[in-house]
Amino acid sequence: MKTYFAALINRSTAPENSKLTKKLLNDLKTSLKTSNSNLHFKEHNSFIFLAAENNLKKPIDQKTIEKTEAKILGHLKNYYFNHKTNLQKHLKTKQELRETAQIVRDFLKEIDPKLPDEFNSRLRKAVSELPNNQYELQKQSTVALWDLAEEQKMRFLLSGWAPPVFEIPGVKEEIDLESVTDKLTLFNFFWVFLQPTIFRLREIDSVLEQLSKGCEGAHVKSAQPKAQAELEMYLKIISAKISALQNVEKTISAIFDLFTAPQISNSRTQLISTSQKLKASFRQMSWKMNEGKGLLAQVQGKLDDCQMRLHEYLDETKNGMVTAQSDEEFKKALSPLAELGSNMFIQAELLKMWMDFFGTDLPYFTYQTKLFSDQKPQNIETSEGTAIAVRGLTKNYNLGQNRVYAVRGVDLDIKEGEFVAIIGNSGAGKTTLLNCMAGLDTPDYGVVLFRGKNLHKMDDKEKSKTRLLDMGFIFQSYALLPHYNTRENVALPADLAGFSKELKTRIEELLEGVGISKQAKQYPAQLSGGQMQRVAIARALTNKPKVLFADEPTGDLDSETGKQVMELLKEFHEETKTTIIVITHEQSVADYAERHIVLEDGIVAKSKRAARSERVNFSGGSKLSKPASEALAEESELSWEQLG
């Protein structure tokens, strides 16, 4: 018997999450009479996942299953209730909301003394309902999957469904529930998330439509400075609320896209054949999802239109401008805009809060092949000649209450002797991936095999030795020791390894090979950027590394010097066939590599072989007419093959 549970959690409340996890694991242990070694848990994105296993001599009885589910649901209900209470307190004291609402009230009072109270009542009601809505959704996020192999059946509790429990009898072929737990968890989440989200989109779509029409026709300003100042501030606040929603399409679309991800489709094929209920639900969910996407695009267009109209409202060159000389004339002309704008304020605030709650983490959710089972190196399939194998690599960082999903389940292989460029925009996760592959940083989950050895299972001493003897590093900022001269910086890896005497000749050859032998006694402060990077390259090659890591090696260099550095690396690779991994955001740098791995938002978007020419044009500069080593050190007759 195996069982899997999953539910939403609030990532910003780590202490409460830890207490919750202990309670849930203890419930599983006592109810199922299993050992700690058969219990597993994992916090992944916005969810907690738990697993329990017990090799039973006889089938587990229905009462035990229901009792276990009731205990889990009870703890989660208390956890969600506490979150609701804390959210209610937070919203009551939210400074930004109080200040902006006061500006709206000031303008409404100028138009009609009754309007501020009406606005207060509607805003208070809407804001008080939000924690309750989230509470109800969270309660319905729980999933329990039971693999009752002894009875050849499965039991599913999807708490967002009606009815929530159903069984699939007669399951003869083995279905790996662990591999589909996160997919069914997200599917259940969509079931309860879509309807309220579509409702909010419809509400704001209607208000945007009315506000857009309300901004048509002649625009009105007041001859009274106080009233005019309040109008201008009011329009700025409404415009700011709309601006805060400019990423609504991107955020919610990213959540919707999780439903159409290949992992969900593959799971569909495996599970639908076992249940007509699942099949019908997937079909209905697809229809709802398409409705939501269409509405989302419509809302985004209207947000842009209203933003433009509000910006133009006080522009006298647009739609004409009428100055209201009396208070009564001003109040009568602005009354419709006051009502529409206050409606917009409330609906925008509600949608923004909804996005903040679900849109902070969920857009970065990644499906897992194995939620709990660590992949053992001997079970990882790699082809012959693989220098580095990465499986399920995940690395997150906490910045205050926010989480950065730097690397999200990366799988890749790098062959011995390959020249690979990992390319992507700033923030794509390139440097984090390199640091994890090189053992400079520890992943949260996943495996890195460096030449067949599990890098992150090594102790610090073994890992440091591997980096020293088998890896070379080139950094954007050079990372030279300022109180060491050029020769001493290059010799440093050999000194640390304890064989600098044996490599004394090699160090001199490296200085010549990269064209800095004349600067051997100079200190970093006396060198140009290009010269310092050549020192860094020579240092990286000192101990004859098996893999060379270069993180933005041309980032601090001008295009011509950068071109020379890349030609140097290219020539070194061609003659020694050392594995080189370059991190860059520049296509011209990536073009020197044999293969491009494109990273987007922490995942591999694509991997392709590069079409290489004999010489690569760098940042629009001219092509070199001879090898970089000749240009940098014409007196040297040494080849990279000799240096390697």
pLDDT digits (tens, 9 = 90+) for 19-40: 999 999 999 999 998 999 889 9
- And the tokens for 59? 């089938």
- Quote the pTM value: 0.81
Contact 36, 20 (CB under 8 A): no
Structure tokens at 167: 């069984």
Is the confidence at residue 507, as pLDDT, over 60? Answer: yes
- Tell me which of 644 and 552 has the higher pLDDT: 552
Interval 298-352: pLDDT, tens:
999 999 999 999 988 888 777 778 888 898 999 999 999 999 999 999 999 999 9
Residue, of 399 and 271, whose pLDDT is higher = 399
- What are the structural domains, with CATH classification, of the chain? 2-364 (no CATH), 416-440+460-643 (3.40.50.300)
Cα–Cα distance measured from residue 583 to residue 178, given in angstroms and rounded to the nearest whole number: 34
pLDDT of 643 over the 60 cut: no
List, in order, residues 6 or more apart from 564 with CB less than 8 Å away.
530, 624, 628, 631, 632
pLDDT tens per residue, range 370-407: 787 655 555 566 777 899 999 888 999 887 767 888 99
Tell me how far apart the alpha carbons of residues 50 and 39 are, in angstroms, rounded to a whole number: 7
pLDDT exceeding 70 applies to what percent of the chain? 89
Measured distance CA(101)–CA(116) in Å, rounded: 10
pLDDT of 430 over the 80 cut:
yes
pLDDT of 223 strictly over 70? yes
C-alpha triplet 458, 424, 360: angle, nearest 5°: 80
- 275: confidence class by pLDDT, cuts 50, 70, 90: low
Q: Express each pLDDT in 106-159 by its tens digit.
A: 999 989 999 999 999 999 999 999 999 999 999 999 999 998 877 778 889 999
Q: Which amino acid is at 365?
A: F
In angstroms, the CA 139 to CA 8 distance is 8
Q: Which of 86, 97, 64, 180 is nearest to 138 (CA)?
A: 86
Instruction: Please provide the average confidence, as pLDDT, over all residues in the chain.
Output: 85
**Residue 200, CA atoms < 13 Å, CB-side half-sphere:** 21
Q: What is the pLDDT of residues 467-476, one digit of tens each?
A: 888 898 888 8
Q: Give the pairing type, strands 471-475 and 386-399.
A: unpaired
